[in-house]
Amino acid sequence: MSGCTRTGVGGSGDEKKEPWYLKGQEYRRQLNYEAAIDAFHKALEVNPRSSAAHQELGILYEQHKADPASAIFHYKRFLALKKESPVAGKIKNRITLCQVDLVDEIKKTGTVETRRKELTGLQQQLTKVTHEKENLLHENQLLKQRLQDINPALANINPPPPPQSSSRSTNVATQSKPDQAVARRHKVKSGDTLTYIADIFHVKVDDIKAANPDLKPRSMRVGSTVYIPLQKP
pLDDT at 168 over 60: no
Compute the average pLDDT of residues 154-176: 54
H or E segment and range at residue 134: helix 111-155
pTM over 0.85: no
Compute the average pLDDT of residues 21-44: 95
Percent of the chain at pLDDT exceeding 70: 74
pLDDT at 76 over 90: yes
d(CA 102, CA 117): 21
d(CA 54, CA 94): 13
Compute the average pLDDT of residues 3-13: 38
Residues in the chain: 233
Other beta carbons within 10 angstroms of residue 223's beta carbon come to 9
